[in-house]
A = this chain, B = another copy of it.
Amino acid sequence: MDAQHRLIDDGAVAVRGERIVGVGKRANIDKQFQAAHRLDRPEALLMPGLINTHTHAAMSLLRGIADDLHLQDWLEKYIFPAEAKNVTPDFVLWGTRLACLEMMLSGTTTFVDMYYFEDRVAQATKEAGMRGVLGETILKFKSPDSATPADALALTERFLREYRGDSLIVAAPAPHAIYTNDDATLRNARKLADKYGVPLVIHLSETKRENDDSIQTRGMTPTRLLDILGVLNGPTIAAHGVWLDDRDMQILKAHGTGIAHCPSSNMKLASGVAPVVKLLNLGITVGVGTDGPAGSNNDFDLMEEMNLAADLQKVSTGDPTVLNAEQAVAMATIAGARVAGLEKEIGSLESGKRADLIALRLDRPHAVPLYNVYSQIVYALKGSDVQDVVVNGRAIVRDGRSLTLDQTLVLSKAKEYAAKVVASLK
């Protein structure tokens, strides 16, 4: 995923501290470096760690609580009541630990999040040894962690200050969407992002209803509204973008806004099909995301999202040649890094970049034979083929097991929280 999209047979990656210091043929790397520690994976593929550009990690504790429902019923009858009664700092901490376990074991090294008590998300992410662009949610109404938008902005600023300069965490303001925020708060969130030099995270044109309501009440699309308010004047991670029109796309292109495409979620919630081929043709950066696991997915498997991103564009455009496997891999790695504002640090295996990489096993029946590496990754390999994961130079998964989080403890705690959630909804 460097500029030449080089594929290296019998290759090796040399890591010193937090960074990659050599990528090339194994024989050359062996000559050039003396390894203190060495991991041989002759039957695996080394590639950049996957980047999940849109999650609500802690919602792992609500995985599958309410499926096959209309979005409004789902939110109002299940998710909002469950969140109001259950989301505490500890809920978020344990939920994110569970999510990080699942993400690391399926090859994700960086995720872009949006939730409440995001400082606890940061805590769990650092414990896991993962990288995160972590968006503290800002709403115009009371949320689990803030009584007012002013409180949310103040909480967000404390969070941004705390994690300034962190090597793993980028703390970000995340105004939830245009329909859940007033204009002044949206503007203030942008100012906060600019003050700390971080991206702003927001949902954008996820559903037809969001667009229709915006046009009816504001006389313009959500993208035009954000443009007029100046919210797009700076790095922005916009999730979904299903209902963007041509003029919206021009606006997003002009501002360099990154799109987090979430095919599972858009399909499962029947939100629609994002115009990804059009966005890519315009040169807009598009990554892939899983969205949250409580009704819209229900997992954090980015290997599946890569496959779906390709297949959904093919069937919706009627053209099997669009969004090919190589593009899908790029979306989940280097393009995801661009969406997250981290393309100078991650997204490819190149000397000087942070050492975020994964090894995928090629020794299982579904991985054989191997005619084309990109095809295999996108259309055949699974999250469960992830053998090793390194983030920032640190091994966090070895042979399919987490080295950083205590899986037995996390699963047991997750079950405790689920029992509380069930009791709270009775």
Interface residues of A (CB under 8 A from B): 60-65, 67-71, 74, 98, 101-102, 105-106, 264, 266-273, 293, 297-301, 304, 308, 310-312, 314-315, 317-321, 324-325, 363-366, 368-372, 375-376, 379-380, 382-384, 407, 410-411, 414-415, 417-418, 421-422
Contact = CB atoms under 8 A, between A and B. Distances in A.
A314 B267 contact: yes
B270 A315 contact: yes
Contacts of A384: 382-384
Contacts of A407: 365
Number of copies: 2
A298 B382 contact: no
B369 A297 contact: no
Given A363-B411, A369-B415, 19 more contacts: A63-B368, A63-B369, A63-B371, A64-B370, A64-B376, A67-B325, A67-B375, A68-B325, A71-B320, A74-B320, A105-B365, A266-B315, A267-B315, A270-B315, A272-B318, A301-B382, A368-B415, A382-B382, A383-B384
A82 to B, nearest CB: 10
Contact of A369 (B273, B301, B369, B418): B418
A269 B310 CA distance: 11
Contact of A64 (B71, B267, B379): B379
Given A320-B268, A369-B414, A379 B299 contact: yes
Given A67-B325, A68-B324, A101 B365 contact: yes
Nearest to A264: B311
10 contacts: A60-B365, A63-B371, A67-B372, A68-B321, A68-B324, A68-B325, A68-B375, A270-B317, A271-B315, A272-B318
Given A267-B312, A363-B411, A371-B64, A298 B380 contact: yes
Given A293-B380, A317-B270, A411-B365, A370 B301 contact: no
Contacts of A102: 365-366
A233 to B, nearest CB: 33
A61 B369 CA distance: 6
Contact of A318 (B61, B98, B270, B299): B270
A67 B61 CA distance: 38
Contact of A270 (B60, B65, B319): B319
A363 to B, nearest CB: 7
B315 A273 contact: yes
Contacts of A318: 270, 272
In order of increasing CB-CB distance, the 7 nearest A-B pairs are A369-B418, A384-B384, A267-B311, A64-B375, A68-B324, A102-B365, A267-B315
A264 B411 CA distance: 32
B321 A379 contact: no
